[in-house]
Amino acid sequence: MSTQITKAETFAALHKKGEPVILYNIWDAGSAKAVSDAGAKAIATGSAPVAMAQGYADGQNIPMDAALDNARRIVVAVDLPVTLDFEGTYAEDVLGVAANVQRALETGVIGFNFEDQIVGTSNLYDIETQEARVRAMREGCDAAGIPAFINARTDIFLKAKPDTHDDAMLDEAIARAKAYADAGASGFFAPGLKDEGMIARLCDSTILPVNIIALPGTPGTATLAKLGVARISYGPVPYRKMLGWLTEQAQQALQEG
């Protein structure tokens, strides 16, 4: 456990405003080893690629036991801190959240993505409900004795097209960041947010290190750093690129045959 605690502390220290840690998301032990060998400072799973690599759709369709077994193999494969995209923790009530987080920590992971979307719907938990869920996650981590990094995610921007993002959405995101911070979150994740002005305002408006995902159309790493971002992740992008390459190579080989 002491090693797990050390990795958790190391991972948290990587989050520096203006000096973002780069997390090139992986899906299994082999991809984790490849990214580690490439010079990564930490390893992050993505829920979509983990599920798709096992033949499931994203959205907690891969059984939790399978997801945790996969996480355990990843932790064993690399010496780096590993953070788990745990979606909604496979639970709605606070007791379930706390219990499942403790189970997940038994795999050796040291952090989580935790989303505020109600899994299986396009709706979000209201702020008060999700604040209680974040607090339950922190209590579960404390009970396990691991200072895990809780990257509290909001799907406000991911649910809407970038050209519809407005100040009202940003204000709600800022309110959620404050509530999640008060509940014990370690970071704030706003996937889908691409507007430079909004990203800068979000970074300036929260004490939490902000995570932006490098989807097509998102500002580059240097720009995100100047805006105050502390963490850049890639979500399903690496898996989709790999799958595209694999399909192309297979087509070529089959045509030649």
Q: Is a pLDDT exceeding 80 seen at residue 7?
A: yes
DSSP string, 111-128: EEEEE-B-TTSS-B--HH
What six digits make up the tokens of 9?
A: 């502390």
What proportion of the chain, given as a percentage, has pLDDT over 70?
99
- 168: phi then psi, degrees, rounded to nearest 5: -65, -40
Contact yes or no for 211/112 (Cβ under 8 A): no
The partner residues of 26 in beta bridges, in order of sequence, read 45
Q: What Å distances lie between residue 43 and 7, 70, 131, 142, 233, CA to CA?
A: 11, 13, 26, 22, 10
Predicted local distance difference test score (pLDDT) of residue 256: 86
Environment class of 98 (CB within 10 Å of its CB; exposed 0-12, middle 13-18, buried 19+): buried
Q: Is a pLDDT exceeding 70 seen at residue 1?
A: no
Amino acid type, 10: T
Distance CA 128, CA 139 (A): 16
Distance CA 216, CA 116 (A): 23
The partner residues of 212 in beta bridges, in order of sequence, read 232
Length of the chain counted residue by residue: 257
pTM of the entire predicted model: 0.96
Give the distance from CA 56 to its chain's centroid. 18
Radius of gyration of the CA atoms of the chain, in A: 18
Distance CA 2, CA 7 (A): 9
Query: Tens digits of per-residue pLDDT, 36-60?
Result: 999 999 999 999 999 999 999 999 9
Domain boundaries, the chain: 2-256
Predicted local distance difference test score (pLDDT) of residue 233: 98
- State the residue for tokens 């490098």: 214
If one looks up domain 2-256 in CATH, what number appears? 3.20.20.60
Contact yes or no for 89/114 (Cβ under 8 A): yes
The whole-number average pLDDT for the span 109-123 is 96
Mean pLDDT of the chain: 97
Amino acid type, 105: L
Query: Tens digits of per-residue pLDDT, 173-232?
Result: 999 999 999 999 999 999 999 999 999 999 999 999 999 999 999 999 999 999 999 999
Distance CA 187, CA 15 (A): 9
Query: Tens digits of per-residue pLDDT, 124-162?
Result: 999 999 999 999 999 999 999 999 999 999 999 999 999
Query: Tens digits of per-residue pLDDT, 65-75?
Result: 999 999 999 99
